Amino acid sequence: MEYSLNVFCSSPVKKKLVLVSIMFLIWVYMLYSCVGYCSTMPSSVGDGHRVKDAAGRRTEGGRADLVSRLMAQQQQRWEDMEGDYEEPSIRTSVSRDLLDNNEPETDWEQQQRLPEPSAMSSFSNGSGSKKLPQAIIIGVKKGGTRALLEFLRVHPDIRAVGAEPHFFDRNYDNGLDWYRELMPKTLEGQITMEKTPSYFVTREAPARISAMSRDTKLIVVVRDPVTRAISDYTQTLSKKPDIPSFESLTFKNRTTGLIDTSWSAIQIGIYAKHLDNWLQYFPMEQILFVSGERLISDPAGELGRVQDFLGLKRIITDKHFYFNQTKGFPCLKKAEGSSKPHCLGKTKGRTHPNIHPEVVQRLRDFYRPFNMKFYQMTGHNFGWD
């Protein structure tokens, strides 16, 4: 046996083969160890200055490694999938909304069908993790929150829930772990968001959100309260055609002209009253007010303000929008690699019923003092009078 081994090892060719094989196994082991080590290293390793990787996210050090590039490619596939929407059917109504409601959107179903991360992404934690939201669109109903959310989802550093979780008003007893599970997975440097417009008028919501995190950034999309009330009624009418007229619901007494503030469509528009409640828990600098009217007339301008507020680079600009003359509001241009524009669904753009001018004027008179107080509180005149 010793003689056979000596003969084998005495051959120069065979000896070289053995050495090469050993070196190859050592190299494979070192590569495997390096990949595993790099995936768990703190992101501060490197020269310490911040740069942008291929997906536009902030990374530490002067260059992105192979794992980072794979993560960026996976994220781009997610964004491409979310941006692929059908053009809604043509509508010809005159008065239209760029609005939100509580109806499920098809993007929520698309959110649930995100591709599974690759083996390398899973190995390097490239699939991200679920986090509680750092920013929430808290209102208002029929103000334009759906449009704002869909526009923001173009940004590579924003990951948002498509449907409205209603956690801080209806599902709070389910607990924060339940809430976190609803969130999409995010990578380092990305912001998790959700929107539920009813939070703004829910008395318990400010305290509950503050208990989750006092650093949560809040966004409120506001709109002329008279137009907002009519839009609110229009949505309800589309579901319940037999409800009373707008006029009969607006007044407690039609003769005296006393407004019925118990009707939710009226109450929501008293923005100053609801804001008072939020300011008990959050400073004004943590709340951004977006104009629903400007979201239609200048979407890129309003989105610029939102991106600044969230501490993000202004990636969403004029080049992302076109004005849809038929629907009467802006839509996103086609997504990268897709020929399909992204407009809001068929529930957006309902025709408003004709309301008697005297009723509209009485509502404007009713809201005027509340609007003035709201302008003073926010330091911004929204021009509703």
Instruction: Say how far apart CA 308 and CA 305 lie, in whole Å.
Output: 5
> Tokens 């600098």 — which residue?
285
214 assigned binding-site residue: no
Closest by CA to 165, choosing from 222, 209, 114, 217, is 209
144 assigned binding-site residue: yes
252 assigned binding-site residue: no
Residue type, 178: W
146 assigned binding-site residue: yes
192 assigned binding-site residue: no
180 assigned binding-site residue: no
Catalytic residues: 142
Longest dimension (CA), the chain: 118
The phi and psi torsions of 249 (rounded to 5 degrees) equal -80, -25
**Which helix (DSSP H) or strand (DSSP E) does residue 220 occupy?**
strand 217-222
At a CB cut-off of 8 Å and minimum separation 6, what does 374 contact? 222, 271, 272, 275, 382
352 assigned binding-site residue: yes
Q: Where are the alpha helices (DSSP H) in the chain?
A: 2-10, 12-40, 66-82, 106-112, 119-123, 145-152, 176-182, 205-212, 225-239, 246-250, 264-267, 271-278, 292-297, 299-309, 357-378
Closest by CA to 100, choosing from 58, 159, 150, 55, is 150
143 assigned binding-site residue: yes
**What is the per-residue DSSP string for 1-61?**
-HHHHHHHHH-HHHHHHHHHHHHHHHHHHHHHHHHHHHHHS-TT-SSS-EEE-TTS-EEES
269 assigned binding-site residue: no
Q: Is the peptide bond preceding residue 140 cis, with omega within 30 degrees of 0?
A: yes
Q: From the annotation, which residues make up the binding site for 3'-phosphoadenylyl sulfate?
A: 142-146, 223, 231, 348-352
Q: From the annotation, which residues make up the binding site?
A: 142-146, 223, 231, 348-352
